[in-house]
């Protein structure tokens, strides 16, 4: 009888250990999936910021070009060259 009781306890211990390992494995897989999703989102952010940085670097490199200065003066400051006539569209 004593041999069977220790056999049952051993089996229960092994089953408990297997259940624990399966739960731990499942939790780990869920964490891995979440981390991979976060990594993909961060990589997309990095790509987006790289594009923005490239555009800003281009603007910095060309900020002293006469065409760029004229574009900023016209679009952002509303300035015009001497002798130009400005027409405003009032239909909006």
Q: Determine, yes or no, domain membership for 12.
A: yes
At residue 26, does pLDDT exceed 70?
yes
Q: Determine, yes or no, domain membership for 87.
A: no
At residue 22, does pLDDT exceed 90?
yes
Q: What pLDDT is recorded for position 21?
A: 98
Q: Determine, yes or no, domain membership for 35.
A: yes
Q: Determine, yes or no, domain membership for 88.
A: no
Euclidean distance between CA atoms 32 and 26, whole angstroms: 10
Question: What pTM was computed for the model?
Answer: 0.56
What residue numbers bound the domain in which 18 lies? 2-75
- pLDDT, tens digit (0-9, with 9 covering 90-100), for 1-14: 455 566 888 899 99
């Amino acid at each position: 009888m004593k041999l069977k009781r220790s056999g049952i306890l051993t089996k229960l211990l092994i089953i408990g250990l297997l259940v624990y390992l399966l739960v731990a494995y499942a939790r780990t897989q869920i964490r891995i999936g979440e981390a991979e999703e976060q990594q993909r989102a961060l990589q997309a952010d990095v790509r987006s910021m790289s594009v923005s940085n490239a555009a800003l670097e281009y603007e910095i490199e060309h900020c002293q070009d006469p065409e760029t200065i004229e574009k900023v003066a016209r679009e952002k400051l509303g300035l015009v060259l001497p002798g130009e006539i400005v027409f405003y569209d009032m239909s909006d």
